Structure 1
């Protein structure tokens, strides 16, 4: 039995400067599995009180028709069809929509969950919102030694989902991770979250010397919890994306061009 049958590539949150929020909805024999959740309805209803002015400074569009729930309904699914949400990290544009899927189990690295729950320091209080991790939310965390995968020394197979793996990529946040998906005949997909902002950072897409890639790299460094790890992740993901032996599509959360290319054909496995 093929574990992942269809992968839908959704934009679940547009931003100023042409940025998107790339969310995956994967049809599996265990129900729908999402990678990240985009911006949800509760935050769209009350953005200033829920998200804060610092988050709004980046110019989220906050369009209800861009929520994962609205898009999945248009595809014929309901909220309770989503059984799992695997989060690259817990910034609001990646976890906000989870509240629209109360039956889903949320998977995240233990480090990210711990840092987000503690909210120590001004930056963490701006970055993480308490209502995104309510006490009644079902959460499964992953930590410890893990095992090797795709050339990375540490990875965590998602419990009950053999085709999904969390791969720690700290830098943007301390507990940030990529999500590797074994997609049948399509081979591997890697949702790298915010490990990079533009495909040129890993040697894909247009020339990296343009104004837009440079501006995005500056933003990436400004928002990173560990800026020195950002370049390391770029190099490691560049090696992965260009490996002829593995055959993997690597993409990030906010690159609109990459999202549009993947939306051109639904990923059927």
Structure 2
């Protein structure tokens, strides 16, 4: 993608099948960018290549994409949900506020960022909500996602979109937190000296629906790294350094 970005998806192997966190751009986005991505492809300039899609990457790891039983979306932006149709039989877990925002398309920005054609095949939606007072390192957590082991949690991180979330996975050797677009590059959550370069401040201004919530969650992620960096590995969707560091690591829940 432009600006050296990546679309960092996470594949989790469980006893009952594969779980995919975000899909990135899919096969149809590569083959029909005008239809699947729309005018935003000119604004953001992604370089779409079939071998980089989650579908082909899963095959390259020796798995059958049909074994992806569940997809958890950090949010429904076109670059995170563009491959849903590559996994038509998967249950798609989506946070309630995000699902409602995408289906309503209340603002012009939301009508641009959400591409209904990407889910026109009729996914098997499973909508989750925050219930009770469950906590994960001080963050609210959604537990007991139907069909998924308890070691996989949804962590609400609103700001980039109305219902943006992170996904935490207990690997048995520590936690992974896929933080989606709650920040962009690792410097922003550096536990010693966090800083957001001007380019990414501009990206933040142009892509967040709730700036105060976005910045508050980013601050809390800095604190998480500072206080629990030995227990939790945090990465975002578009940080190329994190992708290079973590790509290829096997992820299996502790259970």
Partner of 2:45: 59
Q: Tell me whether 1:194 sits opposite 2:178 in the alignment.
A: no
Match of 1:132 among 97, 118, 131: 118
Partner of 1:10: none
Alpha-carbon distance change, 200 to 97 in structure 1, aligned in 2, over 3 angstroms: same
Query: For 1:131, what is the secondary structure of its paired residue?
Result: helix
Q: Tell me whether 1:45 sits opposite 2:31 in the alignment.
A: yes
Query: For 1:33, what is the secondary structure of its paired residue?
Result: strand
Which moves more between the two structures, 243-252 or 119-128?
243-252
Q: Distance in 2 between matches of 1:158 and 1:148?
A: 15
Please report how far the alpha carbon of residue 218 of structure 1 lies from its aligned counterpart in structure 2 after TM superposition.
2.0
TM-score, structure 2 as length reference: 0.91
Partner of 2:76: 90
Q: Tell me whether 1:160 sits opposite 2:144 in the alignment.
A: no
Alpha-carbon distance change, 124 to 55 in structure 1, aligned in 2, over 3 angstroms: farther
Q: Distance in 1 between matches of 2:247 and 2:120?
A: 33
Equivalent residues of 1:156, 1:167 under 8 A apart: no
Q: Distance in 2 between matches of 1:225 and 1:49?
A: 25
Which moves more between the two structures, 76-85 or 153-162?
153-162
Partner of 2:107: 121
Please report how far the alpha carbon of residue 35 of structure 1 lies from its aligned counterpart in structure 2 after TM superposition.
0.7
Question: Which structure dedicates a bigger proportion of its chain to strand?
Answer: 1
Structure 2, unmatched stretches of 5+, are none
Deviations 1:48-82 (A, max 9, x none): 12211124311111111100111111111122110
Q: Distance in 1 between matches of 2:6 and 2:192?
A: 16
Equivalent residues of 1:88, 1:176 under 8 A apart: yes
Q: How many residues align?
A: 251
TM-score, structure 1 as length reference: 0.87
Please report how far the alpha carbon of residue 109 of structure 1 lies from its aligned counterpart in structure 2 after TM superposition.
0.3
Q: Tell me whether 1:235 sits opposite 2:219 in the alignment.
A: yes
